[in-house]
């Protein structure tokens, strides 16, 4: 019985599945479905990072980074443009280094 996945996977995953004697069923997504699948993958990978142990976290962050790189390219931006935008936001609004946790606003 086939195992349903129905999610975006890394480019070499079908090849890896085949090397284990299984037969992956795949399709290539159109632009709109690809963008939505990438956004879903970002949430999936962020959730995995959130639940990761300290030892697993670097690998999960690498997965998040790969999805971000791909989303950046599909948005028509270069990685340098995204980093510049992040730097601008950090300058205007700050980063997260001070560990400030907002409890409420009165």
pLDDT of residue 3: 74
DSSP conformational letter for 96: S
Q: Are 42 and 64 in contact (CB under 8 A)?
A: yes
List of domains in the chain: 13-93 (1.10.287)
pLDDT of residue 4: 81
Q: What is the pTM of this model?
A: 0.88
Q: Are 79 and 72 in contact (CB under 8 A)?
A: yes
Average pLDDT, the chain: 96
Of 11, 2, 48, nearest to 29 by C-alpha is 11
pLDDT of residue 38: 98
66-94 average pLDDT score: 97
pLDDT tens digits along 39-72: 999 999 999 999 999 999 999 999 999 999 999 9
pLDDT of residue 13: 97
Q: List all residues 6 or more positions away from 13 whose beta carbon is below 8 Å from its beta carbon.
A: 24
Q: Assess whether pLDDT exceeds 80 at residue 32.
A: yes
**What is the percent of the chain with per-residue pLDDT over 90, rounded to a whole number?**
95
């Amino acid at each position: 019985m086939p195992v349903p996945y129905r999610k975006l996977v890394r480019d070499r995953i079908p090849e890896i599945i085949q090397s284990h004697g299984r037969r992956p069923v795949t399709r290539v997504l159109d632009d709109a479905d690809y963008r939505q699948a990438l956004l879903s993958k970002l949430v999936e990978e962020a959730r995995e990072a959130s639940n990761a142990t300290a030892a697993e976290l670097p690998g999960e962050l690498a997965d998040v980074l790969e999805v971000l790189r791909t989303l950046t390219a599909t948005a028509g931006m270069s990685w340098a443009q995204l980093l510049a935008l992040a730097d601008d936001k950090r300058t205007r609004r700050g980063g997260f280094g001070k560990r400030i946790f907002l409890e409420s606003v009165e």
